[in-house]
Structure 1
Amino acid sequence: MSTNGVGSGRKGLVLAAMICAVAMTFIDQTIVSIAAPKIQSELHLSGTGVQWAINAYLLAMAALFAFGGRLSDTLGHRRMVVIGVVVFAASSALCGLTPTGALAQSWIITFRAVQGLGGALMYPAALAIVVNTYELRERGRALALFFGIAGGLTAVGPILGGYLTQWTWRGIFWVNIPVALVALLLIWISKPETQYRPAPIDYRGLILIAGGVALSVFGFQQSHVWGWANPAIYLSIAAGAALLLVFFRYERGRTSPLMDVAIFRDRAFVVQCVVLALAMAVFLPMFFFASEYAALSLGQNAQQAGLTLLYFFLGFMVTAQIGGRMLDRVGAKRPVVAGAVIAAVGFYLWASKMPSLNLSTLTWYIVLAGAGMGLMIGPSNTDAVNRASSLSYGEATGITMTVRNYASSLSFAVLGTVMVSIFQSRIADSLVQQGLSTAQAQQAAAAATRGDYSAGGGSGSTSSIPKWVRLDFAHGVQTVFYIMAGVMLLAALVALLGLRGGVQAPEAPSAENTAAADAKAA
């Protein structure tokens, strides 16, 4: 049940407030990696330390999304958005104030994890507020703006990070403070009201799911550092998967579960979770691999690489609005299937032209890939959340975000391994052609792929890198993008076979909803 009696002007203010709140979480997914070399050199962090300065945020957010969603449904969505924004802004300020010396590494890793906690508290509650504010027939348009603008900010991270780092790397954290203040002001003005259901928190369930997601994602993150031959990788992933299985069995039948697993009986919800997992296995890794290709193979600096990714979001933001309107008019199936097919074609054509090392031959294919993703991600996410009760929108969002982050972490690990393997094989072949023995070539190739090929540290110059190395790297990324095209085609097939056509029927008022509304009125 959405909020009644809310005018369109106030709804717009609520939407703006929630977009502003979650903007910080999207920007921080990509902005820190740009400043990582300067952070490491100034704070004298170890290689592992700087890696965890990046990963601690993503790991904490992935592990705690389900907790944040449940809290928002039981303590109030607006309250949790405000708490999340304050936690995120405060931890951002403290990251920017990281002292030099022995304390630096533990300080920045700790407060990056606290940032992730803030994001996990904020995002499910913010999305629940938007869903509650708009009637079912209006949500497609509203959430198209939410996902289109907030998602587009992911591409702003590398550009903004590049400019701020020229001033000071601390600025990449401090930029969140004015954004948070604007978000809090808009929340105070718009005063979003939603129903919620006070209930005890299932802390055993929290430990199980947080531990399961954290261990699994940790294993995926460490795979490119330790290597897949290290048994600790498989042990971590297996232990995480086992905890998640125990969590699922534990939650069934509980009177106040952390996650109502009965929602997985809804076929459309399950199908959309699978579609979102496949889409996120492409979406977030795309930023990393496209940026690396732009830096090494095309010789672009961080700002130029970020501008190249804006072509992707040019297509994404336009079709996100079309997808939202289609959802309201004809349901989720058509935009999800069509978008996944268009994205598959875009990624395939993008990959096919990568060895040209010419941006002008890639531009329209980048736009096409973005258009496909924009058409399907918003409707898929919105349709999944719509399947929940109005008192469980935060919980449903927590589930979908956990699935999305889990899938992207797995994809990063697998696609990174594939890319390095192809790159290493191509370099070895090139060295053999230049006269080295096979053994020497393989040894040199292994050493090369362990090195840092980031185009001179992000300067945009590839003059010191032979063209054949740039081309070999392009072939490695090309294989990754071909796989991405196949994954999006699989997403289209899942949606085509698993979803039913037509617009979803509005939620019928339940005794639980009516009781919550009466209690609130009283």
Structure 2
Amino acid sequence: MTQDPMSADPAATDLPPGTRPWPALVALCLGFFMILVDMTIVTVATPDIMSELDASTNDVLWVTSAYLLAYAAPVLITGRLGDRIGPKWMYLAGLTVFTLASLWCGLSGSIQMLIAARVVQGLGAAMITPQTMAVITRIFPAERRGQAMALWGATAGIATLVGPILGGALVGIGWEWIFFINVPVGVIAFALNWRLVPVLPTHEHTFDWVGVVVSALGMVALVFGLQDGQQRGWDGVIWALILGGLILLALFVWWESRTTKEPLVPLGIFRDRNFSVANLGISCMGLAATSMGFPLMLYAQLVRGYSAFEASLLMVPMAVVSFLMAPLIGRLTDRVHPRLLVGAAFAICTVAVYLVLRPVTPDSQVWEILVPMGLLGLGMSGVWAPLAATATRNLPLSMAGAGAGVYNATRLVGSVIGSAGIAVLMDSRLAAAGLTSGGTEATGQSLPAALAKPFSTAMSQSLLLPAALLAVGFVASLLFTTPAHLTVAAPPREESAVPR
């Protein structure tokens, strides 16, 4: 019989004597930053990849979707594997896979090979991500976890924003360098994590392989159906994939509630309302953050005639504001009710994206985009860290890997569906405007004046998707309850558990 996931003391730590948790966390965040940058770095290189590899818009969107899908599908089981063999060793193995796959991506000579390499890259990322949150949960006590999660959340948020900017700078050398840059960073991250991250006690787990297979098949079928729907005219095969994916995911939930062995997703952790709400919120943010870059970057390069680097500079206000706000948000995360902090942040994000999409026209002024992008950075800084901290405060140590796996899987599901959903919406809006995703815009050159206005309109309408889901995140944030650490005195901590 499995242990009640909420029965252990969440305030305890596994911190070995003499370990400094903050340097360990910084080392973990370096590799985490790298894999998250690769979620969005392709967006700004889209026209170059389309031109050099003779690919359509939908083909290049699969470069991101394949990565996200391979990232999301196994992340539940890799969280459990980290609990069983040790998060440090799982992290280092994943970092090795990711770094070698990055080299393969840069050497790819066709769009098919690039997509295959991105799948392997995603598998490496899936091995890394749950270990970061699990280690935070196990080496920081609950009342100080908000500050640690603030660094983790700032890393996630800023990496998502920095991806297009870094990509724009590297595309000037060649699109391959958006992947080659990972090789030296991966080597440095490996050395730092080997030296600074502690070896933590392991916890025995059984593995729900039925759950792994059913959830992975459901995810793959759903994403394939959504992303290729417009290309195939929403034929019977597409609807069979979508319906089959939904049925498999529903079957997965049913199986998890009935299995007598240790489930892949311990549904008991969802009894904590804040964990459930945080998962819904992060899926909305993952969807919005992943989806908005594609239409914005295509508009900037194909309508305004910007280079990849110039287009990426539209993201600078968002990244700078998010970075500057991270320390303040870290302090507020442990002190302010998540309903107030996250709710205000989601509201700001929703308004900001709406203000961004309005000037997506051929003749707008650049400041009309830059100002709301800065506002979006302010909102995003208040979402990533508080959501992660709120989700994990009540997790006992033995469930750290499972909880981190569930939370990151939820975030990645949002990102996968966001990537697929924006592909569907962009294709449909382009078709309505009399354009095709594999036509004129596939040349990587500026569009003729006659096509610029309808193309801009299609991209502006596509940005309604992230705006709508950020609004859903705002509504969800109103359901947060008061965290225990804000209502009761924090338990005394051992000296070794105090971050230095």
**How does the TM-score come out when normalised to structure 1?**
0.82
1:131 aligns with 2:142: no
Range moving further from structure 2, 156-165 or 210-219:
156-165
Change (3 A) 1:347 1:19: same
Q: Which residue number corresponds to residue 398 of structure 1?
A: 405
The alpha carbon displacement at 1:282 in A equals 1.4
1:196 aligns with 2:207: no
User: What code does the residue aligned with 1:2 have?
Assistant: T
The alpha carbon displacement at 1:503 in A equals 4.8
Residue of structure 1 aligned with 2:69, choices 46, 59, 67? 59
Give yes or no for contact 2:137–2:145 (8 Å, CA) kept in 1: yes
Q: Which residue number corresponds to residue 500 of structure 1?
A: 481
The alpha carbon displacement at 1:116 in A equals 0.9
User: What code does the residue aligned with 2:98 have?
Assistant: F
Change (3 A) 1:452 1:501: farther
Give yes or no for contact 2:295–2:460 (8 Å, CA) kept in 1: no
The alpha carbon displacement at 1:422 in A equals 4.4
Deviations 1:483-520 (A, max 9, x none): 53343233222211x111345479999xxxxxxxxxxx
State the secondary structure of the residue aligned to 1:489.
helix
State the secondary structure of the residue aligned to 1:291.
helix
Query: With CA pairs under 8 Å and 6+ residues apart, which has the higher RCO, 1 or 2?
Result: 2
Q: Which has the higher helix share?
A: 1
Residue of structure 2 aligned with 1:361, choices 359, 368, 389? 368
1:95 aligns with 2:109: no
Give yes or no for contact 1:330–1:501 (8 Å, CA) kept in 2: no
Q: Which residue number corresponds to residue 14 of structure 1?
A: 24
1:269 aligns with 2:275: yes
The alpha carbon displacement at 1:47 in A equals 8.4
Structure 2: stretches of 5+ with no match in the other structure: 1-11, 492-500
1:181 aligns with 2:163: no
Query: Counterparts of 1:352 and 1:396 in 2: how far apart (Å)?
Result: 39
Give yes or no for contact 1:216–1:238 (8 Å, CA) kept in 2: yes
Query: Counterparts of 2:480 and 2:288 in 1: how far apart (Å)?
Result: 21
Q: Which residue number corresponds to residue 435 of structure 1?
A: none
1:230 aligns with 2:240: no
Query: Counterparts of 1:368 and 1:46 in 2: how far apart (Å)?
Result: 33
The alpha carbon displacement at 1:407 in A equals 2.5
Q: Which residue number corresponds to residue 250 of structure 2?
A: 245
Query: Counterparts of 1:288 and 1:25 in 2: how far apart (Å)?
Result: 18
Query: Counterparts of 1:306 and 1:353 in 2: how far apart (Å)?
Result: 17
The alpha carbon displacement at 1:36 in A equals 5.7
Query: Counterparts of 1:294 and 1:50 in 2: how far apart (Å)?
Result: 17
Range moving further from structure 2, 279-288 or 131-140:
131-140
Q: Which residue number corresponds to residue 513 of structure 1?
A: none
Change (3 A) 1:387 1:308: same
Q: Which residue number corresponds to residue 298 of structure 1?
A: 304
Query: Counterparts of 2:327 and 2:421 in 1: how far apart (Å)?
Result: 32
Change (3 A) 1:52 1:491: closer
The alpha carbon displacement at 1:90 in A equals 1.9
User: What code does the residue aligned with 1:30 have?
Assistant: T
Q: Which residue number corresponds to residue 177 of structure 2?
A: 171
The alpha carbon displacement at 1:59 in A equals 1.6
Give yes or no for contact 2:354–2:464 (8 Å, CA) kept in 1: yes
Identity, % of aligned positions: 29
Deviations 1:338-390 (A, max 9, x none): 11111122222223333452111222211112211221222112211334322
Deviations 1:241-282 (A, max 9, x none): 222222222222433222212222222221221222222221
Range moving further from structure 2, 60-69 or 184-193:
184-193
Give yes or no for contact 2:58–2:437 (8 Å, CA) kept in 1: no
Give yes or no for contact 2:94–2:124 (8 Å, CA) kept in 1: yes
User: What code does the residue aligned with 2:79 have?
Assistant: G
1:472 aligns with 2:454: yes
Change (3 A) 1:386 1:89: same
Query: Counterparts of 1:372 and 1:162 in 2: how far apart (Å)?
Result: 24
Query: Counterparts of 1:407 and 1:149 in 2: how far apart (Å)?
Result: 18
Query: Counterparts of 2:176 and 2:429 in 1: how far apart (Å)?
Result: 36
How do residues 204-219 of structure 1 correspond to structure 2 at under 5 angstroms?
204-219=210-225
Q: Which residue number corresponds to residue 409 of structure 1?
A: 416
Give yes or no for contact 2:157–2:381 (8 Å, CA) kept in 1: no
Query: Counterparts of 1:255 and 1:507 in 2: how far apart (Å)?
Result: 37
Larger Rg: 1
The alpha carbon displacement at 1:41 in A equals 6.5
Query: Counterparts of 1:400 and 1:155 in 2: how far apart (Å)?
Result: 20
Give yes or no for contact 1:16–1:186 (8 Å, CA) kept in 2: no
Query: Counterparts of 1:51 and 1:275 in 2: how far apart (Å)?
Result: 24
Residue of structure 1 aligned with 2:441, choices 446, 453, 477? 453
Range moving further from structure 2, 411-420 or 284-293:
411-420
How do residues 74-153 of structure 1 correspond to structure 2 at under 5 angstroms?
74-98=84-108, 107-153=113-159
Give yes or no for contact 1:330–1:502 (8 Å, CA) kept in 2: no
Query: Counterparts of 1:418 and 1:384 in 2: how far apart (Å)?
Result: 31
Count of residue pairs the alignment pairs up: 477
Q: CA RMSD in A?
A: 3.0
The alpha carbon displacement at 1:14 in A equals 0.9
User: What code does the residue aligned with 1:451 have?
Assistant: G
Give yes or no for contact 2:68–2:415 (8 Å, CA) kept in 1: no
Structure 1: stretches of 5+ with no match in the other structure: 428-444, 510-522
User: What code does the residue aligned with 2:39 have?
Assistant: Q
Range moving further from structure 2, 378-387 or 115-124:
378-387
Q: Which residue number corresponds to residue 518 of structure 1?
A: none
Deviations 1:297-330 (A, max 9, x none): 3322211111111211222223343333222012
Change (3 A) 1:10 1:353: same
Change (3 A) 1:376 1:153: closer
State the secondary structure of the residue aligned to 1:391.
helix
Give yes or no for contact 2:226–2:238 (8 Å, CA) kept in 1: yes
Query: Counterparts of 2:140 and 2:440 in 1: how far apart (Å)?
Result: 48
User: What code does the residue aligned with 1:403 have?
Assistant: T
Give yes or no for contact 2:349–2:470 (8 Å, CA) kept in 1: yes
Q: Which residue number corresponds to residue 488 of structure 1?
A: 470
Range moving further from structure 2, 63-72 or 468-477:
468-477
Query: Counterparts of 1:37 and 1:61 in 2: how far apart (Å)?
Result: 24
User: What code does the residue aligned with 1:402 have?
Assistant: A
Q: Which residue number corresponds to residue 442 of structure 1?
A: none
